[in-house]
Every structure is written in structure tokens, then in C-alpha cells.
Amino acid sequence: MFQVIVSTCIAAAAIFTGALASLSIVPSQAVIVKPSSFAVMGPNANFRNDSFNMLFNPTSTTPPFFQVFDERFLTILGESASIREIASNETFAFAHEAPVYNPPTDEVFFSSNDGGPLGMSDLEHNNVISKINMSKVEAALSVHATGPVNVPITQLNLSDSVQMTNGATGPYKSSLLLATSGRGSLPPSLVLVNTLPPYNATVLLDNYYGRQFVSLNDIKVHPTNGKFFFTDVDYGFLNHFRPAPLMPFQVYRFDPDTSAVRVVADGFNKPNGIAFTPDGNTVYIADTGASGGFMGNNGTLPATLYVMDVDPVTNAFKNRRVLAYIDAGVPDGIQLDSEGNIYTGCADGTEVFAPDGTLLGKFFLGMSTAEMIFAGDGRLVILAETKMYLAKIAANGISLSGPPV
């Protein structure tokens, strides 16, 4: 799908087996790339002209693979890490966003692309939520020791109150907590959907003091106070299924006990993915300003992960600073592992950053990824539009269900 850039001045030197590689057994699907090997490319090098369609793969390795830039990524992967395709539909972007892992049923829920290419949804057609059974995935992988498998997915038949789901988290009180973008005059909303048939839906919020939101994007539950935090941006308008924005693109807090809603952060170009550290004191926000939908991409706008402090009294986000600027497209959904490392979907797959902002490595798919989710210990499910991948690694995720009941 994407053109892969190969610089002749660094390709031969990109893989090294020195001190870094000797720190751990390198998984068979991992490729180590030393940053010093491409720090100087030379005046006649083949430089990249954009970050969306020209990806950085100096070793010309065939995806999927693990691209290692820092030794700490080997600890995340573990010695026997693997990454394999588990579902595919080349004609339908069925695996876009809103992933939720439900441990009692060992299922991952997710939504199709809302209004984008191959999403099969637009002003006249809603997108869909589906699920995949991880036990069936494990069974298929055990039968086929190598290569891709294609495990069937199940589409959910939801009520009309769920329109263009783009964000989700949980499970929250045995339900999926959804952030929907709305469609046409149907408002964006926060909705609870039961994880079991018949998937009853309850709308929790669909306005800000009588005004419709723009098109809600992503959501997380604060891990200690239990309040919901969600982002609002204009992708519904850019994808032609929502009217022109009438409010700023902001981050909101919703109190599920009182139904009160308030703004906690603004000043972003396109606030998108959101995630909290387990103590709730720090929040990460993805700004996807460089991605303009059908209006075209603009590389001079943000493609940036921001980190902020959460005020313990007001919950407002403060002290915004840059964690990382993304080298492949824009950052989208955000998840954290138990060691505080930050995972985000990008144009080349899923990228992983340390809390200090260092790019540790990538789950390099050679195709765009919006979201990923830890599906139990050591399992990372990656949504890649027309495909789904399962990475078996050493890292584990964190709880997304809010504070203990």
C-alpha cells in the first residue's frame, strides 16, 4: 500500500549485532535499527517527501515485523515475540477503532472505519461494531504454525442510538463505553452497550448544554475518580457525514454520577486519542492535525503526542508538553502497558514510546493503524483497517475499567 523508502547510504549499516543485540535474544521477526546508522544520510540521499505514504524502513524488511530502535523494546517484546495476521477483508475496513477487550468472554470488540475509505459508511449508512473471539484465534494459530489466519468476526446489531462509533473503552460495569461521532442530524453521544446479546444500549450524553458536539472521537475512564474523558474533533465533517463544526475541538469530562459535563483542555488542532497513567496524574493526548481527511494531509500541522498533568481538584489538563512528534502519519489511539510505555497507531503500524519520549520500536505493518488493545497478558491486538494482527509479547496492559467497584 505504501511506498517504502530505502536509503542506499544506510541500508547496509542499519542492522547491527553489537552491544544492543547481545543484551537479549532477538525475536526472529525483529530487526534492529541503530539510530546512528541513519543520523547522516548525505547530500544525495533519497529523503522522504511526506510521512503518510513514504514509510521509514531502511532495511527493506517485509512486514509484519518488529522494528527495534532502542534496547528497551526487546524487553517489551520478550525472546519469543511473534506477530501474525488473524483476520482480513480486503474490500472492507472492518477493523478501525474503538477496541475493547472483554475478559469474561475472551472477545475483542471494535468498530469499522466511519466514513473513510473502504468503511462502507457515509451520510446514509452507519458504521458497524464487530467482535472476534480470541479463543478461536488461538485455536487457528495452533493449527497453522506460520503465516496468516482468517478467523471469522461477528457483527453486532445495535440500536439506532449508536451512530458512527469511533472510540470505546472498558469494559465499564460489564458494558462497552462508546464515543460516537453522530451522523447527519443524529447527535454525537456517549453510549453504554452491554457486552452480551441483545447488546442493549443506553445513551448517557448527547449534548453540551443544548448544543451538539462536533463528532466525538475517543474516550477513557479516569482510573481513580471514575469520570469519563473524551475528545471532540471534526472528522465527521471532513468525511462528509456531519455538518460544519459549531464549537471548538476540545477535551471534555463527564461525571457519570451527576451527568455534568465540562471542558478540561483546548488549544489543540485535532485532539484524538487519550490515555491516562494508572495513578491518574498524567494524561496523553494525540493531536492528528496533519491528517485532513478528504481535504488532504498537511505535514506542517501537528502529528504529535502531548503529555499533561491532571489537576487533582478540577481535573483540568495543565502543563502541556511534547512527548513525541510522529515520523509516520499521525498518532491516533493510545494505550499504555504496565511499565508506562505509550503505544499509538500510526501510518506504518503501531509505535511505542518510553515515558521519556524515546521511540523504542514499532510493530511495523506497512499499513495504517488507528488503534490497538491488550487482550489479556502478553497479547496485543492491532486494528489495521482491512486486517487485524495479534502480537504475542512480554508486555502486559493496564486496567481500562476505572476504579475498583
Which tens digit of pLDDT belongs to each residue from 100-122? Answer: 999 999 999 999 999 999 999 99
Average pLDDT over residues 41-58: 94
H or E segment to which residue 360 belongs = strand 359-364
CA distance linking residue 120 with residue 237, whole number of Å:
16
Between 131 and 10, name the one with better pLDDT.
131
Q: Which cell numbers in the block locate residue 341?
A: 510505555
Instruction: Output the CA torsion sign for 356, 376, 69, 18.
Output: positive
Residue whose C-alpha is closest to residue 5's, from 36, 50, 67, 44:
50
Q: What is the pLDDT of residue 12?
A: 36
Give the model confidence (pLDDT) of 201-257 as tens digits: 999 999 999 999 999 999 999 999 999 999 999 999 999 999 999 999 999 999 999
Mean pLDDT of 370-395: 98
- Distance CA(389)–CA(88), nearest Å, equals 9
How far is the C-alpha of 48 from the C-alpha of 233, rounded, in Å?
29
CB-based contact 96:168 (threshold 8 Å) = no
Amino acid (one-letter) located at 107: E
- Residue 258's pLDDT band (cuts 50, 70, 90): very high
201-205 and 189-194 strand pairing: antiparallel
Cα dihedral: 95, 97, 98, 103 (round 10): 50
Structural domains of the chain ordered from first start = 3-392 (2.120.10.30)
Comparing C-alpha atoms, which of 254, 244, 217 is closest to residue 233?
Answer: 217
State the DSSP code for 50.
Answer: -
| Contact between 96 and 368 (Cβ < 8 Å) | no
